[in-house]
Structure 1
Amino acid sequence: MNRLQHATSPYLLQHAGNPVDWWEWSDEAFAEARRRDVPVLLSVGYAACHWCHVMAHESFEDEATARLMNELFVNIKVDREERPDIDAVYMEATQAMVGQGGWPMTVFATPDGHPFYCGTYFPRAQFQTLLGAVKKAWSEQRDDVLAQGRQVVDALSFRGNGLGGGTAAPGSEQLAGAVRALAGAYDRVRGGFGGAPKFPPSMALEFLLRHHARTGDGEALAMASHTLEAMARGGMYDQIGGGFARYSVDAGWVVPHFEKMLYDNALLARVYAHWWRLSGSPFARRIALETCEWMLRDLRTEQGGLASALDADSEGVEGKYYVWTPQELEEVLGQSDGAWAAELFEVTGTFEHGTSVLQLLNDPDDEERYARVRARLLEKRAGRVPPARDDKVVAAWNGLAVAALAECGALFERPDLATAAEEIARLLMELHVDGDRLVRTSRDGSAGNNAGVLEDYADVAEGLLALHGVTGDAGHVRLAGALLDTVLERFADGDGGFYDTADDAERLFRRPQDPTDNATPSGQFAAAGALLSYAALTGSARHREAAAAALAPAGALAGKHARFAGWGLAVAEAFAAGPVEVAVVGPGADERTRALHRTALMSPAPGAVVSVGEPGADGVPLLEGRGLVDGAPAAYVCRDFACRLPVGTPAELARELAGQLDR
């Protein structure tokens, strides 16, 4: 066993038995490189990464390769999900050097941490040759190598993000332009944007739904609806167990890359719920609920949080857990149901080794039979060797899940989902929150050592504010406010934007900052959304102005690169809509209060905030001074804390809310 045997990261523990003398990221590792006068070999990946497993098996488990690595380098392993700051700066260097990035990421750096040669996956023979070449360059061309490292650091340090500063959120014209930009990249046959591989464009879809809700733009709704249906009918969606895979390797959503990530599913559950809220689609409702149920069934930890991911591989084969042959269906279901299921799920044996992923291109003609078949297949599949689970709890992704579960619980009248959201929030408060600071990860009920980054603060605040809208708990607003104050004080860049790390975080060769969305909302756009919601609940001009400034890069991206600013554009839609503020006042046990509350939550007004409380409740400024009307529960519809006359029935409230949309 190497030094990684003492790690808490599941990814690092996967490498604890390698013959490579791995170090965790630490000052001691770089000091050792200086003492030995050798370069650092930095390997970055994550537990569910298929190609990370391939390189580990080919090279890191190979004695000959490990001897070369140990002799020539100090070798450092990093879990990118625990240390997104390290991943960000070295990925930026990798992309600058080779034009693309990915994981595993392989970086050769000086003992000062300056990268001088970067790449991703290398087959064993190529990797062994590369090790020797880097060593030779270090020994014979040291000055050139050091100069290369300095040049990379200097170039990245002064490059900036190229989006400029600003204080204004994108306006209606820019938002309409973003819809046109998305339409230009839209796949009108298969849904989604661009070609293969296709990733679920969760944040762009949220923007399109909000834009339609505010303006009535039919094309925005059509693009979103088509894409949402195509994704959930294809093989990228687990047709019997629920939940989405990371991406589709083809343009038609058929063959997935089988790893399942918490962040994808949290974002998608929320988008499907919002699609249902707009359209009433039973299909959207089913997918949202099944995705929530999958998260709680397969990712729930003993402590009540949600694990990060499920691996793509089972028994060393990608996707083996999920695929079926026609013969297997018949063996499990019998001849009649087996043939029916094979036709329904497109199981033709045309995938690898005669198997197929399951698709659902058409609705079943017999819902009862469909439910029975799915349940039997799920039961049978549970007996297979399951994919490994990365069971660390990441604050940001659990924050996204809190928002999704809380909203789905309320919209679909599933109190068990809202209760799960409260339990996750409680875990975050107990393990991840230390005053007004956050720890990024925990595992097995113990907090990790990694400081929270911007997305952690922003997404946890977002989740807490969404949970408040469902439960009325003022404590969630107070904690969100404390976290957002830390964002303003510790992460601000002085030009309206935010760095991804706090001002007292570990110093890397560059302080990471990227306002563009990736697989999750960027920290900056996520912060903008939470700041705007908090301002709407509290009337804080400071937080609203900070949200507007943080959204400025979304305006710069809207015309040509809208896909990389989906969350920023979605938040900008909320900004353009107000957002609408709804205060529901009445006894919690009163059915009239509950009816008004549900009507408020059903509003598709972009980014609408809802607060519910007893008469005279304090702690949330939006509720203060709002009372009963003639002794009965009432709802107040406001913008910028300027409220219209209170209403007392769901029908009146629905009319008031509809009147707030810009059409």
Structure 2
Amino acid sequence: MPNRLAHETSPYLLQHADNPVDWWPWSEEAFAEARRRGVPVHLSVGYSSCHWCHVLAKESFQDEVTAEVMNEHFVNIKVDREERPDVDAVYMEAVQAATGQGGWPMTVFLTPEAEPFYFGTYFPPAPRQGMPSFRQVLQGVHQAWDERRDEVTEVAGKIVRDLAGREISYGDAQPPGEEELAQALLGLTREYDPQRGGFGGAPKFPPSMVLEFLLRHHARTGAEGALQMASDTCERMARGGIYDQLGGGFARYSVDRDWVVPHFEKMLYDNALLCRVYAHLWRATGSELARRVALETADFMVRELRTNEGGFASALDADSDDGTGKHVEGAYYVWTPEQLREVLGEQDADLAARHFGVTEEGTFEEGASVLQLPVREALSDAEKVASVRERLLAARSERPAPGRDDKVVAAWNGLAIAALAETGAYFDRPDLVEAAVAAADLLVRLHLDEQARLTRTSKDGHAGANAGVLEDYADVAEGFLALASVTGEGVWLEFAGFLVDHVLARFTDPESGSLYDTAADAERLIRRPQDPTDNAAPSGWSAAAGALLGYAAHTGSEPHRTAAEKALGVVKALGPRVPRFIGWGLAVAEAVLDGPREVAVVGPSLDDEGTRSLHRTALLGTAPGAVVAVGVPESDEFPLVSGRPLVGGEPAAYVCRNFTCDAPTTEVERLRAVLSD
């Protein structure tokens, strides 16, 4: 018989709806039940494409005996971290403070007042490698609650007080200057892996936000080392197993230092961010590899993650049926030499094995290999390789596909909108721009209410119940600003303005300029979460600074500019010390130092060939964080365009920075030079 989760919309929660565990969704009713029964709360946090979340569920949550213990002694709450990042952030901070590490699944035991007192992540069904079994943990927590409740509640209260004391504050709230950005670059250089690209050791994550900083820093200063780190890392990832060599798109991370074996889940946010990075790398260098990867990644998102409503789904699972009924990680993606021969025949299988690095020993498990591009493609084989790739992709599509988490997350769709809009504009792919517009339309129609407040998620055309958090407002505003620049439709600038105004009014401390991850009127948790550091995607804090700055550049709004600069004070403090974890903040700081440039393109119509040429040139400019507006002189859709005349009856571009404007130009080459200066 299904439990309470059967009424939820989260795919992750629905995966647990048939567990024998009497699960509750996160709610006041659940805590009221814990108070009524006088039992602690067992909080389990995960997400649908999390491999070890599935393992824990299969081993423990589907086990009748374990479920009986859970139901008898606890109120059990299941949370999708992607739906409730605020709940996840608050308790993950406690887990990391107590244990020095974190991850998912996250297991936390709480008092009925939601105060945490015991922490962990995955627990096995039987003791191993020094870890207690999950059932032993349950029994131990139950015993402590029954026999030493005063001690437990005292510990919980102390933890909450310690967390409350972690309020982020910083000195003069000024953005970083040249010295801090140079120190950040030096710190990245020290952690850079020159043999393999990327930063640090295994596991290795795509450093998307750091790559954006490096590209912007090179564009502003000409620092060749920054460009080299970015381009080498992008090439290593694109040639590694972390990149899907058949279908495009990136996996979550590499388990090794060489980018060979990925953790196979594919997340929307990774692919949106990396699509944009590779498009920007092409813009800076003309790299054909960067162009191909940007377009393939965009096509992957549209082909495999787009929902029927026009938004983009959250993720594809790492696991899938291996054809024998077993659910195995990577089964959909890996190949043996024998499988190549079955699809391609002997001769073409040999070519494919050489080209994609498939060996008899294998690079993964049980003799299978993850496809890579270990050597540069031979041009003479290009046509044959394309044929082989198409045939392998067609054969792979017949395999049981990984599951898809169909919920639409506002923030991640904002990132996808920005990536698809820019990639479509750069490479003359109007279909990608149309996909970005459709996703933006969905967010406006379904996720925005009459007060322009955002809902975090939707599924199957139905809005979820959870309020948007800071990253939702910031990333959606970023997407709308990119869409405004690409399409010339001022309505997207207007919508972005609604969102950044909410950031000022509801997420910002009016005195210090500090930002919070939840709104002032959001559900009260044991702590109001606040984290300026990047994780898998830009922090809400840094993303908000970028959106505020972009909106200010478009409109000349001093309050938005001031708020952006105050928010970047934390980057001044953290950038030189932990640059890998505040890359997007560093990228926004580069835009502040560059102005950012404000480019207005005016013409007799948006369809005029000269106007289109100047507009595309403006979009391809590498000046960090430059904003672009295009329209006719009498238009009032964009403040940058309004009142600016044609020059001698010809389309013209106006480039301004820090309230100072260059003379307008009608020449594409002159505009290109100005925006790369």
TM-score bin (small chain): over 0.9
**Following the alignment from structure 2 to structure 1, what is the Cα–Cα distance between the partners of residues 609 and 109?**
64
**Following the alignment from structure 2 to structure 1, what is the Cα–Cα distance between the partners of residues 137 and 26?**
22
**Following the alignment from structure 1 to structure 2, what is the Cα–Cα distance between the partners of residues 339 and 309?**
33
Contact 1:539-1:640 at 8 Å conserved across structures: no
Q: CA deviation at 1:430?
A: 0.3
Q: CA deviation at 1:656?
A: 2.3
Question: In structure 1, which of residues 156, 171, 174 is the aligned counterpart of residue 163 of structure 2?
Answer: 156
After TM superposition, the structure 1 = structure 2 runs for residues 62-101 of structure 1, keeping only pairs within 5 Å, are 62-101=63-102
Q: Which residue of 2 aligns with 1:44?
A: 45
Q: Which residue of 1 aligns with 2:136?
A: 129
**Following the alignment from structure 2 to structure 1, what is the Cα–Cα distance between the partners of residues 42 and 662?**
63
Question: In structure 2, which of residues 501, 504, 507 is the aligned counterpart of residue 491 of structure 1?
Answer: 507
Structure 2 residue 265 is the aligned partner of structure 1 residue 297 = no
Structure 2 residue 206 is the aligned partner of structure 1 residue 200 = yes
Question: For each residue in 1:11-56, what CA deviation from the matched residue of structure 2 results, as whole angstroms up to 9, or x when unmatched?
Answer: 0000001000000011110000001100000000000000000000
Question: In structure 2, which of residues 479, 495, 501 is the aligned counterpart of residue 463 of structure 1?
Answer: 479
Q: Which residue of 2 aligns with 1:642?
A: 660
In structure 1, what residue type is equivalent to 2:125?
R
Size of the aligned set, in residue pairs, is: 658
**Following the alignment from structure 1 to structure 2, what is the Cα–Cα distance between the partners of residues 56 and 367?**
46
Q: Secondary structure at the match of 1:437?
A: coil
Question: For each residue in 1:326-348, what CA deviation from the matched residue of structure 2 results, as whole angstroms up to 9, or x when unmatched?
Answer: 01011101111111001111111
Contact 2:446-2:463 at 8 Å conserved across structures: yes
Q: Secondary structure at the match of 2:600?
A: strand
Task: Report the CA distance shift for 1:503/1:165 in structure 2 as closer, same or farther (over 3 A).
Answer: farther
Misfit runs of 4+, over 6 Å: none
Question: In structure 1, which of residues 570, 573, 584 is the aligned counterpart of residue 590 of structure 2?
Answer: 573
Structure 2 residue 331 is the aligned partner of structure 1 residue 320 = yes
Q: Secondary structure at the match of 1:195?
A: coil
Q: Secondary structure at the match of 2:640?
A: helix
**Following the alignment from structure 1 to structure 2, what is the Cα–Cα distance between the partners of residues 32 and 471?**
52
Q: CA deviation at 1:370?
A: 1.4
Which stretch shifts more, 401-410 or 621-630? 621-630
Q: CA deviation at 1:165?
A: 4.6
In structure 2, what residue type is equivalent to 1:499?
Y
Question: In structure 1, which of residues 337, 340, 353 is the aligned counterpart of residue 348 of structure 2?
Answer: 337
Q: Which residue of 2 aligns with 1:60?
A: 61
After TM superposition, the structure 1 = structure 2 runs for residues 214-613 of structure 1, keeping only pairs within 5 Å, are 214-315=220-321, 316-348=327-359, 349-350=361-362, 351-365=364-378, 366-434=381-449, 435-493=451-509, 494-586=511-603, 587-613=605-631
Q: CA deviation at 1:640?
A: 3.0
Q: Secondary structure at the match of 1:452?
A: coil
Contact 1:167-1:545 at 8 Å conserved across structures: no
Question: For each residue in 1:547-575, what CA deviation from the matched residue of structure 2 results, as whole angstroms up to 9, or x when unmatched?
Answer: 01111111111222000110000000011
Q: CA deviation at 1:466?
A: 0.5
In structure 2, what residue type is equivalent to 1:553?
V
Q: Secondary structure at the match of 1:612?
A: strand
Structure 2 residue 633 is the aligned partner of structure 1 residue 615 = yes
**Following the alignment from structure 1 to structure 2, what is the Cα–Cα distance between the partners of residues 29 and 424?**
35
Q: Secondary structure at the match of 2:291?
A: helix
Structure 2 residue 152 is the aligned partner of structure 1 residue 139 = no
Contact 2:489-2:637 at 8 Å conserved across structures: no
**Following the alignment from structure 2 to structure 1, what is the Cα–Cα distance between the partners of residues 472 and 253?**
23
Q: Which residue of 1 aligns with 2:23?
A: 22
Which stretch shifts more, 486-495 or 18-27? 486-495
Q: Which residue of 1 aligns with 2:129?
A: none
Question: For each residue in 1:425-451, what CA deviation from the matched residue of structure 2 results, as whole angstroms up to 9, or x when unmatched?
Answer: 000000001132100000000100000
Question: For each residue in 1:573-602, what CA deviation from the matched residue of structure 2 results, as whole angstroms up to 9, or x when unmatched?
Answer: 011100111100011121000000011011
Contact 1:536-1:640 at 8 Å conserved across structures: no
Contact 1:497-1:550 at 8 Å conserved across structures: yes
Contact 1:307-1:391 at 8 Å conserved across structures: yes
TM-score of the aligned structures, taking structure 1 as reference length: 0.98
In structure 2, what residue type is equivalent to 1:462?
E
Q: Secondary structure at the match of 1:652?
A: helix
**Following the alignment from structure 1 to structure 2, what is the Cα–Cα distance between the partners of residues 53 and 148?**
31
Q: CA deviation at 1:168?
A: 1.3
In structure 1, what residue type is equivalent to 2:220?
R
In structure 2, what residue type is equivalent to 1:90?
Y
**Following the alignment from structure 1 to structure 2, what is the Cα–Cα distance between the partners of residues 187 and 240?**
27
In structure 2, what residue type is equivalent to 1:556?
A
Contact 1:581-1:641 at 8 Å conserved across structures: no
Contact 1:438-1:451 at 8 Å conserved across structures: yes
Q: Secondary structure at the match of 1:191?
A: coil
In structure 2, what residue type is equivalent to 1:437?
R
In structure 2, what residue type is equivalent to 1:383?
E
**Following the alignment from structure 1 to structure 2, what is the Cα–Cα distance between the partners of residues 165 and 487?**
22
**Following the alignment from structure 1 to structure 2, what is the Cα–Cα distance between the partners of residues 641 and 478?**
22
Gaps of 5+ in 2: 127-132, 322-326
Q: Secondary structure at the match of 2:646?
A: coil
Q: Percent identity?
A: 65
**Following the alignment from structure 1 to structure 2, what is the Cα–Cα distance between the partners of residues 312 and 385?**
12
CA RMSD in angstroms, aligned pairs only: 0.8
**Following the alignment from structure 2 to structure 1, what is the Cα–Cα distance between the partners of residues 220 and 49?**
39
**Following the alignment from structure 2 to structure 1, what is the Cα–Cα distance between the partners of residues 263 and 117?**
31
Question: In structure 1, which of residues 203, 207, 210 is the aligned counterpart of residue 216 of structure 2?
Answer: 210
Q: Which residue of 1 aligns with 2:643?
A: 625
Q: CA deviation at 1:651?
A: 1.2
TM-score of the aligned structures, taking structure 2 as reference length: 0.96
**Following the alignment from structure 1 to structure 2, what is the Cα–Cα distance between the partners of residues 297 and 363?**
27
**Following the alignment from structure 1 to structure 2, what is the Cα–Cα distance between the partners of residues 45 and 545?**
37
In structure 1, what residue type is equivalent to 2:305?
L
Contact 2:475-2:544 at 8 Å conserved across structures: yes
Q: CA deviation at 1:363?
A: 2.7
Gaps of 5+ in 1: none
Question: For each residue in 1:280-317, what CA deviation from the matched residue of structure 2 results, as whole angstroms up to 9, or x when unmatched?
Answer: 00000000000000000110100000000000000210
Q: Which residue of 1 aligns with 2:12?
A: 11
**Following the alignment from structure 1 to structure 2, what is the Cα–Cα distance between the partners of residues 654 and 175?**
26
**Following the alignment from structure 1 to structure 2, what is the Cα–Cα distance between the partners of residues 583 and 649?**
14
Contact 1:190-1:230 at 8 Å conserved across structures: yes
**Following the alignment from structure 2 to structure 1, what is the Cα–Cα distance between the partners of residues 666 and 219?**
24
Q: Secondary structure at the match of 2:366?
A: helix
In structure 1, what residue type is equivalent to 2:167?
G
